Every structure is written in structure tokens, then in C-alpha cells.
Amino acid sequence: MVSYKNFLSISVIMIILLFMFQFLQVFVEHENEYNINEQVEYSDVPENIILDGPTEREKIVYVGDKESAIAKVVSQWCTYTKREYISSARIPEETELKKLTEKVPELFLLDAGHVDFEKETSLIEDITLQGIPVVFCNLPDISVIEKNEKLRELLGISEIISENTAVEGLQVYSGFFLGGELILKAEKEEDLEKQDLKLNMPWFSMDAGTKVYMVGMLDEEQVPREEFPACLWRNHVENSFVFAVNGDYMSTLTGIGILDAFVHELRDYTLYPVVNAESVIVTNYPSFARENEERIFELYSRDTKSFERDIVWPGIVALAEKRNLKLTFMLTPQFDYLDEIEPDEADYVFYLQQMKEIDGEAGMSLANWKQVPITEKISRDKAFFDLIENRYKYASCYMEEASSEELEQVVGQNPALQGIRTIAYQQGTKYPLLAFYNAGVTLQGITGDAKQYTFSQELQYRSLETALGYSNFMLDAERVLWPELKEDQWENYSDEVFSNISIYWKQNRKFDNTTLLESDKRLRSFLNLQYSQIRDGNTIYMKLKNHGEQSWFLLRTHGESVVAVKGADYQMLEDDIYLLQIYSENVEIQLE
């Protein structure tokens, strides 16, 4: 039996604890300025700068269809690395080349489908004799290679072993991309669903002077590793080099990193700008309408709002905390604009408070089920925000594959979206991965779906990490709130997403986790900056213009170490690879 004295003591302690916890919660809610988006609470937003008198840039000549997928990849790479892109429908002769470029180009890139090798192989040889490296962005038909001995010499092919060989996977050798060696091979049965690479290719025997960077993998018990079919390689020709791509890798974003890696193989070091931003956005979440209630109750024995708040939200928070992610939530007031179920603002404050607690950011989802025009969706969403007297400044939004018409209706034309500074969108063919849409609004392409992990996605990720230090993965909550398949149900969807992010997407990741507006700041500096560099002895001197406050560079060497840097902070990411944050217009890098 509890004595009166003990009962009194216990009661006092419980009252004190209750007061402390209640006071703490009140303090947290009071201090949580959930309705302020700190990322936009500053006035100086760098816009797209039209550069006059740019610093002298290296020239890149591309021969092929200027509207092709390869041409668009090459053009983007030139934009990001501050090179001048020159397109030609055919291989120019020496006098034409001088008129075209005014100086010797840094690289000469060929789309083999637009070259008459019977007549123009000698022109390619002349280009290499001038000391200009040549890149075959793809290979001509095997019959063309077979008949043309001079072409085989340029490519470093001594023999055609097979016109079409099935390989088991791909291997990228260490030192080509960031992250070391990469093996993309389905070792187990459960890996087969990840294998989406094209595994059929011509198989050549290479000359002794070639250096191979990526191969197709065969059974080592039957074929020695050094004889595996080459996918990416370099051949030494007279005064220059010829690079070759055996496959369609240059027609995707993977080609951007391949070009950076090729250039690195030509120099004693490479120094180029990167974004240094890896984002994860949660699209179409949270929503505020009690839609699809019957299906959600059938699966989870609770209504839609309770499901979102008590099941989905804790799971997302656990992922963010476990992997130190900074998430951007693209909320949507409702999905169905024809069902007469209107959004309810009851949980709005709760979500903004919780996002603030995990350093998240709120944006707006402009995706809809094509039931209403996007202008009507925006208008009805604005009515919801006006109803709750919301003061949160939304500066980022998400669109599905953006058409030019929809973007025109969204950017600058709609009063409800005048504060939008950056748009995350699913990549199509219309717009580049990273760009200014207009003077004040940036585009950030989504690089992958967190629900899906495939070998081609991993290859592309390594490439973009090497070239740009950028990624933007999407976690789509619409599939969970409107599940059609068993794999869309939260318990299955979340397991897959968490596994991909925890096991695959986090391997060898080098760059900063950011919200979408944080990456927007860095992207603006990345796109606006100009720079020049020169090496004198063991010191690299770099001069910058319009670099902003959020500029990073990647330095890659061949065995040399950084011992001191003026005008920038630096960290070593891995052997021979350094990340520099610039804070001065003049930078000096001392190498060992």
C-alpha cells in the first residue's frame, strides 16, 4: 500500500514532468516558424547573366545531325563545362575547319551515322595528324569497319572476333568515373530485374596501343579478362588520340560523364565546375482531400488523412533521419478536381511544422490527372491557400514531363506562381537536364525514380556524379495514395524505396544532400560562372567571374596531390579527386 507521503511525492513529480513536457512542446511550436521559407528570405537572387565578351573557351566540333540525341548531350556538356559548341553536318576539310573554329579545336566528335567513311576516313586521319583528338560517339556498321583498313587502324581494331556477342554485364575500370570500379552484372536471380542494359555488342580484338575503360563481361573460365569486348577505349594515333564508344551510351545523359572522363585521359589534370547537390523530392505529398477513402480503408483500416499522417509520414521521416537526407515535399491540395471532394486545411500547419523540424522544404506539385487544364488546377489550388491565409512562400514546384505550352502557362504568366524560382521536372527531350528557363527561373531535371534501381540508372548516376556532382531522385506518393498494384501499397513501396536509397543510391556518394531551393542557389552559380585556368610548374592559377557564393569545382589529377589552396576550401573525395568550394575570384592550387 502506498503511503500518503509517497503518494504526494509521486503526484508532485508527475505534475512537474507534465508541466515540463507541455512547456517544451509549447516552446517548440512557438519557436517553429513553420510559415517562413528561410530559403527565399533573401533579396539577392542571381538571375541568368547574358555574358558579354566571355573568356576564351575551348572549341568542340561535332559532326552529325544537330537535332539528334547525341548532339543534345554534347551541347549540354559544352554548356556545363563552358566550352564553345560548333555543329557541322559533314567533316570539314582543313581550310574549312580553320574558318569554322579560328583555332585548333580541343575535340572533334563524330556521329558515325553521318559520316561517309569510304570518302572521309582520310579526312579523319588528317584531323588526328593536326593533333586534334577524335571521339567516335558511336561506331559505324560492322560491315563498314570490316572493309576499311584505315578506319580499323584509327580505331585500334586488329580483328573482328564477332559481329554480335551477348555479354553478361558491364565493367567500368577504376579511375574512369568517380567511385572506383563499377560492375553491373546480375550475380543472383533477384538481380535480373535490375539488368536493363543492352548486352549485345560487336567484339573486337584491340591493338596493343589501346587503353580500355569499359568492357562487356564474359565467362572468365572461357575468355581471359584482358580479351573481354571493349565498350569504351582510347587508341594512340600519330600525334593524337582516337576515343571510341561501342554502344549508344552517348545518346543518353551518361554521355556527359563519358566526355569528361575522356578529356581527363588527355591531360595531366582536369578542373571543372560542378553543382554539388543531391536532392530527393517527395512528389504529390502531402495531399489535403479525403480522396480514395474506400480503398485506403480497405487496405489500412483508417481514413486517407490518418493514413498519410500516421503511417506514411513517420516512415518518410525515418528514412530522412537514417540517411541524413534533406527532403523537398511537393504538396498537392487534391488529386481529383471533378469528384467534388474539396481539400481540408486541418493538417496543413502540422505538416509545415514537421517539415521544419527535419530541415525539409515545401514546394507545390503541378502534376494532375489531365482532368482539368493546368491553369484551372493552379487557380483552384490558389483558392485553397488563400482560404488558410498561408504566408509560406512557395518557390519550387514539380511538373511531370513539361511541354513548352504548360511551362509558358506556369512561369511568369500565372499570378499564383510569381514566386516560383525553380522547377523540378521529369526529363523529356525538350529541355536540358539543368538550365535557366528564363532570366529568373531554373529547371532541374529528375535523374531517377527512387522506387526503381537498374544498372543503366547506376551507370548514368556515376556519370552525372563525375561530370556534375548532381542528382535529383523522386519518391512519388501518388502511387501509394492511389494504389493500383500490390507493389504500390505502402508496406511494399516503402520497403523498395528504403532499400534502394539505403543500399544502392548511397554507395560512393560524394556530394551534399540539399533541398531543391538549396540546389537552385548552387545551380545559378554553376550556370552563370566564367573561368580561365593556367598551370605554371606545380601551381594551377584560376580566375573566375560571376561565380556567386555557392560555386564548386572538381579537380582530378593523375597521381598528384593537393598541398595548399588559396581562394578556396578543399576536401579529398578519393584518390586524385578533390572538391573545391570557391570564395575568391582568384584561386591558386599547389600540387605536390
SS3 content of the chain, % helix, strand, coil (to 5): 35, 30, 35
Query: What per-residue confidence (pLDDT) applies to 140?
Result: 96
Pair 448, 549 in one domain: no
- Separation CA 211–CA 233 (nearest Å): 5
CATH of residue 75's domain is 3.40.50.880
Q: Collapsing DSSP states into helix, strand and coil, what is residue 555?
A: strand
pLDDT band at 291 (very low <50, low <70, confident <90, very high): very high
Region 335-363: mean pLDDT is 91
Q: Are 155 and 165 in contact (CB under 8 A)?
A: no
Q: Summarize pLDDT for 44-94 with one digit per residue, the tens.
A: 556 666 544 445 678 999 999 999 999 999 999 999 999 999 999 888 887
362 and 496 co-located in one domain: yes
Q: Output the pLDDT for position 96.
A: 76
pLDDT of the residue at 303: 93
Predicted pLDDT at 45: 56
Answer whether residue 555 is part of any domain. yes
Domain presence at residue 420: yes
pLDDT at 214: 98
Cell of 481: 495514395
Shared domain check, 417 and 367: yes
Say yes or no: 365 and 393 in one domain: yes
Is residue 2 assigned to a domain? no
**How many of the other CB atoms lie within 10 Å of CB of 389?**
8
Both 123 and 143 in one domain: the answer is yes
Higher-confidence residue of 405 and 29: namely 405
Provide the 3-class DSSP secondary structure of residue 291: coil
Q: How confident is the model at residue 24 (pLDDT cuts 50, 70, 90)?
A: very low
Please give the span between the terminal C-alpha atoms of the chain, in angstroms, as a whole number.
78
DSSP-derived letter for residue 345 is: G
The three grid cell numbers given for residue 480, joined into one nine-digit string:
501509394
Q: What φ, ψ does residue 530 adopt, rounded to 5°?
A: -120, 150
Reported as a single tens digit per residue, the pLDDT across 114-130 is 999 999 999 999 999 99
| Strand pairing class (422-426; 182-185) | unpaired
Helices marked H in 414-557 — which ranges? 455-467, 478-481, 490-499, 516-528
pLDDT of res. 549: 78
325 and 463, same domain (yes or no): yes
CB 130 within 8 A of CB 94: yes
Asked which of 468, 500, 522 is the last residue of a domain, the reply is 522
Supply the DSSP string of 437-463, one letter for each residue. SSSS-EEEEE-EETT---HHHHHHHHH
Single out the residue in 522, 548, 580 at which a domain terminates: 522
pTM of this structure: 0.90
Q: Do residues 204 and 336 both lie within one domain?
A: no
> Does pLDDT of 547 surpass 50?
yes
Rounded percentage of the chain residues whose pLDDT exceeds 70: 87
pLDDT mean across residues, the chain: 88
Is 22 domain-assigned?
no
Phi-psi region of 473 (alpha: psi -120 to 50; beta: other; left: phi over 0): beta
221 with 185, same domain: the answer is: yes
Q: Is the pLDDT of residue 424 over 90?
A: yes
pLDDT surpassing 60 at residue 21: no
Average pLDDT (307-316) is 95
Closest among 367, 374, 325 to 516, alpha carbons compared:
325
The count of domains in the chain is 3
Q: 575 vs 175, 221, 239, CA distance in Å?
A: 9, 32, 30
pLDDT, position 53? 40
512 and 556 in a common domain: no
Query: How far apart (Å, rounded) are the C-alpha atoms in residues 287 and 213?
Result: 47
Which residue among 226, 257, 274 closes a domain? Answer: 274
Are 269 and 281 members of one domain?
no
Place of cell 487544364: 373
Would you mind telling me the total number of residues written for the chain in this entry? 592
* From 17-21, 432-436, 543-547, 578-582, the region with the lowest mean pLDDT: 17-21
Question: Above 80 in pLDDT, residue 507?
Answer: no
pLDDT of residue 52: 44
Domain span at 250: 59-274
Between 382 and 236, the higher pLDDT residue? 236
pLDDT digits 0-9 by tens, 515-527: 999 999 999 999 9
Q: What is the CATH number of the domain that holds 349?
A: 3.20.20
pLDDT tens-digit readout, 442-481: 999 999 998 888 999 999 999 999 999 999 999 999 999 9
Q: Is 168:192 a contact under the CB 8 Å cutoff?
A: no
What is the C-alpha separation between 154 and 124, in angstroms, rounded?
Answer: 9
What tens digit of pLDDT does each residue of 393-402 get?
889 999 887 6
Instruction: Say whether both 131 and 258 belong to one domain.
Output: yes
Rounded distance between C-alpha atoms, residue 479 and residue 278, angstroms: 23
Q: What is the pLDDT of residues 124-153, one digit of tens each?
A: 999 999 999 999 999 999 999 999 999 999
pLDDT at 250: 97
DSSP H or E run through 119: helix 117-129
| Domain assignment present for 43 | no
Considering the domain boundaries, does residue 17 fall inside one?
A: no
Query: pLDDT at position 29, please?
Result: 47
Q: Look at 565 and 375; give whichever has higher pLDDT.
A: 565
| pLDDT-derived band at 42, boundaries 50, 70, 90 | very low
- Residue for grid cell 565498350: 231
Residue 337 lies inside a defined structural domain of this protein = yes
**231 versus 387: which is more confidently predicted?**
231
Q: Classify residue 286 as exposed, middle or buried by CB count within 10 Å of its CB (0-12, 13-18, 19+).
A: buried
CA 14 centroid distance within chain: 52
pLDDT confidence bin for 101, thresholds 50/70/90: confident
pLDDT confidence bin for 410, thresholds 50/70/90: confident
Does residue 206 share a domain with residue 238? Answer: yes
Using CB atoms within 10 A of its CB, is residue 380 exposed (0-12), middle (13-18) or buried (19+)?
middle
Q: CA 492, CA 481: separation in Å to the nearest integer?
A: 13
Mean pLDDT comparison of 172-176, 351-355, 385-389, highest-scoring range = 172-176
pLDDT, residue 16, reads: 60
What are the backbone angles phi and psi of residue 379, rounded to the nearest 5°? -65, -45
Give domain status of residue 302, yes or no.
yes
